[in-house]
């Protein structure tokens, strides 16, 4: 069977065709996600759902024609953000993406919308979470009059592809919106209504491998899943024993918990069928390395010089990190944290001999590693200690051998890199394979994953 997996990212939309027997990626196509809408307010981050839907339909049409027959379609994409739909399932608002900052605006007595909602409900929330965005819109009168429900963008795409008019949201996406009861796998109606929101605006939820329906060409479409969980599913062959580190624009560390647990250093997220991931997220991650590259590029430009591949130069600088004396201690929290958006990064231990491009380059990479490792060590000890496989995903780690080596040294185990490069799309495809009965369980489907 050939299955399409779609990953709707913030900057790109990717679709892969996977052979369910061999695990081979037959092809992958990526389109730029140029759906951004010009903001009229500094805190807005908006995209056009119609543009994103058109790109997904374009990719599916081309792949279904070139690799027929297609047995199923799996969908994943950016979590946290929401859009509103009407009674026919059509979008009646822009997509307020996960970077939207309206929740950080002042609500009452110097307290932000996100901080107020967190304190009042007892849920750990941040700006960009769908429930926070909706709460802001309710308070400011910005909910569209025709709106009947809201959902994430991958939910919307799966709904439109399958011809449904009502969103059905998997727990992996639903929990990312906030105000979600993990123990009972549902939105917390009492908390929602206490804050003056209509519970019926929140989408219906499932924890299973449901099918949304079929495309006009008869291809089954699975319920969409969260991109973090999809990357985990699509990267690790043994969920019980593996730790996943992902470095892209942000960075994450994830591993499976045997039960519902909470920890101050990591977030607990559903992974389907009653299982949970412990997830630590850095808002900057690989972007910290890009910021350093831009710093060097600006200096070179001012000097009237040119360098065609600064990343290659930085890679060579970082190769000798083990022999550096007086290492810099770099915090890469340049974009703050979910708990404290105002926190910033830092460079310490600066002396007269170590304020060099080599020290800074190595320090930023080690800062990326250390931020995730600190989250991991602060999580539930006995759950963390059982893991003995470290898997790396995302372009930030794939394309940086030094970063791979740093992770291996810090965690005390080699880094395994999947052969396929679009891990989230691959995970969505595996999920869809189970949904259509190609495999009896996710653990069986994951055996087709291969490593470099």
User: Model confidence over 202-256: pLDDT tens digits?
Assistant: 999 999 999 999 999 999 999 999 999 999 999 999 998 899 999 988 889 999 9
Q: Is the CB of residue 267 less than 8 Å from the CB of residue 123?
A: no
Distances from the Cα of 224 to the Cαs of 105, 151, 336, 345, in angstroms? 31, 11, 29, 35
**Which residues on adjacent β-strands are paired with residue 445?**
none
Which residues of the chain are modeled with pLDDT < 50? 382
Phi, psi of 3 (to 5 degrees): -130, 140
Give the pLDDT of residue 380: 57
CB atoms within 10 A of CB 119: 11
What is the rounded average pLDDT for all residues in the chain?
Answer: 93
CATH superfamily of 2-229+422-448: ATPase, nucleotide binding domain (3.30.420.40)
Strand pairing class (70-77; 251-257) = unpaired
304: left (phi over 0), alpha (psi -120 to 50) or beta: left
Give the pLDDT of residue 143: 97
Distances from the Cα of 247 to the Cαs of 36, 105, 312, 413, 448, in angstroms? 23, 29, 18, 17, 23
- Over residues 269-282, the pLDDT tens digits come to 999 878 899 998 88
Q: Which residue has the tokens 């010089």?
A: 305
Task: Record the pTM.
Answer: 0.90
Q: Which two tokens stand for residue 307?
A: 């360098």
Domain parsing of the chain, residue ranges: 2-229+422-448, 237-417
By residue count, the chain amounts to 452
How far apart, in whole angstroms, are the C-alpha atoms of residue 336 and residue 341?
A: 4
Residue 110's H or E segment, with its range, is: none
Does 2-229+422-448 match 237-417 in CATH topology? yes
3-state secondary structure of 175: helix
Architecture of domain 237-417: 2-Layer Sandwich (3.30)
Distances from the Cα of 427 to the Cαs of 6, 25, 313, 433, 439, in angstroms? 9, 12, 34, 10, 14
Give the pLDDT of residue 386: 61
Give the pLDDT of residue 88: 96
pLDDT > 90 fraction of the chain, expressed in percent and rounded: 83
- Over residues 381-390, the pLDDT tens digits come to 545 556 789 9
How far apart, in whole angstroms, are the C-alpha atoms of residue 132 and residue 121?
A: 12
**Which residues on adjacent β-strands are paired with residue 269?**
277
Of 74, 308, 282, 313, the residue nearest 172 (C-alpha): 74
């Amino acid at each position: 069977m050939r299955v399409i997996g779609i990953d709707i990212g913030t900057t790109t939309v990717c679709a892969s065709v996977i052979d369910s027997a061999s695990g081979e990626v037959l092809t992958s196509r990526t389109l730029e996600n140029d759906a951004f809408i010009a903001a009229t307010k500094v805190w807005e981050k908006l995209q056009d759902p119609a543009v994103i839907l058109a790109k997904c339909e374009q990719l599916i049409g081309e792949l279904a024609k070139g690799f027929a027959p297609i047995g199923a379609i799996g969908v994943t994409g950016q979590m946290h953000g929401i859009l509103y739909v009407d009674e026919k399932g059509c979008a009646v608002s822009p997509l307020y993406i996960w970077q939207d900052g309206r929740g950080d605006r002042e609500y009452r007595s110097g307290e932000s919308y996100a901080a107020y909602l967190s304190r009042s409900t007892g849920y750990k929330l941040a700006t960009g979470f769908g429930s926070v965005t909706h709460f802001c819109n309710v308070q400011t009168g910005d909910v569209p009059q025709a709106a009947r429900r809201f959902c994430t963008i991958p939910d919307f795409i799966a709904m439109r592809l399958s011809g449904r008019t009502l969103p059905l949201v998997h727990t992996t996406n639903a929990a990312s919106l906030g105000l979600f009861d993990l123990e009972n796998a549902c939105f917390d109606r009492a908390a929602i209504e206490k804050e003056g929101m209509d519970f019926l605006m929140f989408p219906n939820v499932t924890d299973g491998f449901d099918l949304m329906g079929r495309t006009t060409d008869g291809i089954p479409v699975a319920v969409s899943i969260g991109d973090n969980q999809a990357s985990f599913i699509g990267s690790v062959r043994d969920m019980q024993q593996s730790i996943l580190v992902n470095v892209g624009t942000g960075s994450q560390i994830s591993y499976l918990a045997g039960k519902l647990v909470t920890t101050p250093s990591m977030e607990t997220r559903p992974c389907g069928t009653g299982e949970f991931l412990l997830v630590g997220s850095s808002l900057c991650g690989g972007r910290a390395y890009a910021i350093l590259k831009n710093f060097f590029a600006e200096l070179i430009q001012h000097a009237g010089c040119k360098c065609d591949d600064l990343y290659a130069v930085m890679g060579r600088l970082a190769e000798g990190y083990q022999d550096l004396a007086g290492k810099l201690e770099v915090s890469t929290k340049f974009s703050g944290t979910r708990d404290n958006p105002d926190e910033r990064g830092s460079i310490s231990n600066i002396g007269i001999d170590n304020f060099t491009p080599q020290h800074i380059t190595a320090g930023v990479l080690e800062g990326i590693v250390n931020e995730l490792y600190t989250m991991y060590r602060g999580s539930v000890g006995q759950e963390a200690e059982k893991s003995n496989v470290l898997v790396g995903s995302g372009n930030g780690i794939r394309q940086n051998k030094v970063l791979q080596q740093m992770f291996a040294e810090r965690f005390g185990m080699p880094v395994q890199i999947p052969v396929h490069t679009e891990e989230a799309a691959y995970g969505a495809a595996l999920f869809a394979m189970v949904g259509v009965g190609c495999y009896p369980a996710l653990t069986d489907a994951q055996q087709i994953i291969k490593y470099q």
